[in-house]
Amino acid sequence: MVKKVRVVVIGSGPAGLTAALYTARAQLSTVVITGMQVGGQIATTHDVDNFPGFPDGIEGPELTARMQAQAERFGAQFDYDLVTEVDFTSGSPFRVKTQSREYLADSVVVTIGASPRKLNVPGEVEFTGRGVSYCATCDGWFFRNKDIIVVGGGDSALQEAIFLTRFASSVTIVHRRDTLRASTALQHRAFANDKIGFIYNTVIDEILGSSETGAVRAVRLRNVKTGEVSEKPIDGVFIFIGYDPNSKVFNGQLSTDAAGYVIVDNHMRTNVEGVFAGGEIHDDIFRQAITAAGQGCAAALMAINWLGERADRLQVIEDEQRDAPIASSKKTTEAV
Ligand SMILES: Cc1cc2nc3c(=O)[nH]c(=O)nc-3n(C[C@H](O)[C@H](O)[C@H](O)COP(=O)(O)OP(=O)(O)OC[C@H]3O[C@@H](n4cnc5c(N)ncnc54)[C@H](O)[C@@H]3O)c2cc1C
């Protein structure tokens, strides 16, 4: 069965949850298709200290559970499923398929985010938020006077390593090649920084934790040229080996840049009229929960305006099942 709604929001990170709050509060039937990571990336971290309104900080899952509850208060529905296919080719209404159902939506807000590339080594998942981080702006402050490793050799690795020297006692850049890929200017800045050291031709094979603190205590390193294995005591591991925007499902339908980020204009409009995007699916610069939320809000406001201007012409009418629970829902807000 096809469910008709005014707005489908794809993704349930800060951008999607904020978008849903705005469209639902504008009395537009709204379904958020959450994806696998309900609450998005921020829900995977323990301490969020830089989201305004929480002077004592807040845990990531609690922040997004509150955002979801706020959107639900105005009628947004949540479908705990993955978008597998979209058809934007004929314009509005748009077809959005999940693993278990299909939607016909007057407008779509794409907030499907991006994923930091992982090392895929033992200990990485276990200690994410407990010493393993993918975000210097978010977590640098927790590593004041600590010794940390930065993994990577590109611009972002060096930029973040330099930034992290504001907090850490020492920053060791671990790079799998014998030369860095970062710009020469950044390399000079990093070489000139007394707190930064380098280990070349080396990969991390395992991130080791302490049974006492439950946090990172060391890494197991391997020299890729000699095969030599060593253990290095460390307090934190920051991984900057790139991001992958989750845009594959829109291949050929939404314009993206070479890296796969969805291109929007300054009104969050994609190349498809009626489809808007916000958050990390298009923003590869700021990468913060608050900027994602702001962009989700902007995308939703544009969708609301766009729907308002075309109210008489759009085919999808308010769904008679607006208040009915979505059959595939697996989770409640409390469980997030
Ligand atoms: C470990 C960690 C800690 C961080 N700490 C902070 C911090 O302290 N402060 C801060 O400001 N920022 C922090 N960030 C960054 C912040 O989490 C992101 O900037 C923010 O979450 C981006 O929000 P978004 O909504 O654009 O995308 P995301 O959070 O990436 O959300 C994308 C959403 O899309 C969904 N999705 C993916 N594929 C599909 C699909 N096929 N169908 C449907 N849905 C799909 C996912 O399930 C997810 O819900 C942190 C990031 C990480 C990884």
| Enzyme catalytic residues | 135, 138-139
Distance 41 CA to ligand 1 centre (A): 3
Quick one: pLDDT at residue 155?
87
Report how far Cα 295 is from the mean position of its chain's Cα atoms: 13
Percent of the chain topping pLDDT 70: 93
Considering the domain architecture, whether residues 75 and 149 belong to the same structural domain is answered as: no
How far, in Å, CA of 35 to CA of 57, rounded? 26
Considering the domain architecture, whether residues 106 and 148 belong to the same structural domain is answered as: no
Considering the domain architecture, whether residues 148 and 111 belong to the same structural domain is answered as: no
How far, in Å, CA of 150 to CA of 162, rounded? 10
305 in a structural domain: yes
Considering the domain architecture, whether residues 20 and 100 belong to the same structural domain is answered as: yes
123 in a structural domain: no
Task: Give the orientation angle of helix 155-164 with respect to helix 184-192, to 10 degrees.
Answer: 30
Quick one: pLDDT at residue 335?
31
What count of other Cβ atoms lies within 10 Å of the Cβ of residue 320?
9
297 has pLDDT over 50: yes
Considering the domain architecture, whether residues 107 and 188 belong to the same structural domain is answered as: no
45 in a structural domain: yes
127 in a structural domain: no
324 has pLDDT over 60: no
Ligand 1 test: best mutation among 138, 216, 281, most atoms within 8 Å of CB? 138
**Domain of 226?**
132-239
35 in a structural domain: yes
| Ligand 1 atom showing the smallest separation from residue 43 Cα | 17
| Ligand 1 atom showing the smallest separation from residue 50 Cα | 9
How far, in Å, CA of 116 to CA of 205, rounded? 18
Identify the residue whose C-alpha is closest to ligand 1 atom 53: 41
What are the tens digits of pLDDT across the range 7-60? 999 999 999 999 999 999 999 999 999 999 999 999 877 788 899 999 999 999
For the segment 73-83, the average pLDDT, to the nearest whole number, is 98
Ligand 1 contact, 36 CB (< 6 A): yes
Considering the domain architecture, whether residues 55 and 79 belong to the same structural domain is answered as: yes
Pick the last residue of a domain from 239, 263, 297.
Answer: 239
| Ligand 1 atom showing the smallest separation from residue 39 Cα | 49
Mark residue 267 as left, alpha or beta (left: phi above 0; alpha: psi -120 to 50; beta: remaining).
Answer: alpha
Considering the domain architecture, whether residues 163 and 199 belong to the same structural domain is answered as: yes
Distance 270 CA to ligand 1 centre (A): 20
Structural domain count of the chain: 2
What count of other Cβ atoms lies within 10 Å of the Cβ of residue 317?
10
Domain of residue 136, CATH code: 3.50.50.60
Percent of the chain topping pLDDT 90: 82
120 in a structural domain: no
Ligand 1 contact, 131 CB (< 6 A): no
Quick one: pLDDT at residue 245?
96
310 in a structural domain: yes
Pick the last residue of a domain from 197, 221, 239.
Answer: 239
Pick the last residue of a domain from 210, 239, 268.
Answer: 239
How far, in Å, CA of 216 to CA of 229, rounded? 18
Considering the domain architecture, whether residues 44 and 23 belong to the same structural domain is answered as: yes
Ligand 1 test: best mutation among 41, 44, 51, 167, most atoms within 8 Å of CB? 41
124 in a structural domain: no
Considering the domain architecture, whether residues 213 and 151 belong to the same structural domain is answered as: yes
Q: Shortest CA distance to 7 belongs to which of 90, 93, 100?
A: 93
| Ligand 1 atom showing the smallest separation from residue 44 Cα | 1
Distance 286 CA to ligand 1 centre (A): 12
Go through the chain and tell me how many residues it has: 336
Considering the domain architecture, whether residues 81 and 148 belong to the same structural domain is answered as: no
199 has pLDDT over 60: yes
Considering the domain architecture, whether residues 146 and 223 belong to the same structural domain is answered as: yes
How far, in Å, CA of 297 to CA of 273, rounded? 18
- Give CA angle at 298 (107, 258), nearest 5°: 80
Quick one: pLDDT at residue 330?
44
Q: With DSSP H G I counted as helix, E B as strand and the rest as coil, what are the percentages for the chain, rounded to 5?
A: 25, 30, 45
What are the tens digits of pLDDT across the range 79-129? 999 999 999 999 999 999 999 999 999 999 999 999 889 999 999 999 998
Q: Which two tokens stand for residue 274?
A: 């009626």
Token pair 């639900």 is found at: 72
Token pair 């208060």 is found at: 73
Question: Could you tell me the pLDDT band of residue 329, with boundaries at 50, 70 and 90?
Answer: very low
Considering the domain architecture, whether residues 182 and 253 belong to the same structural domain is answered as: no
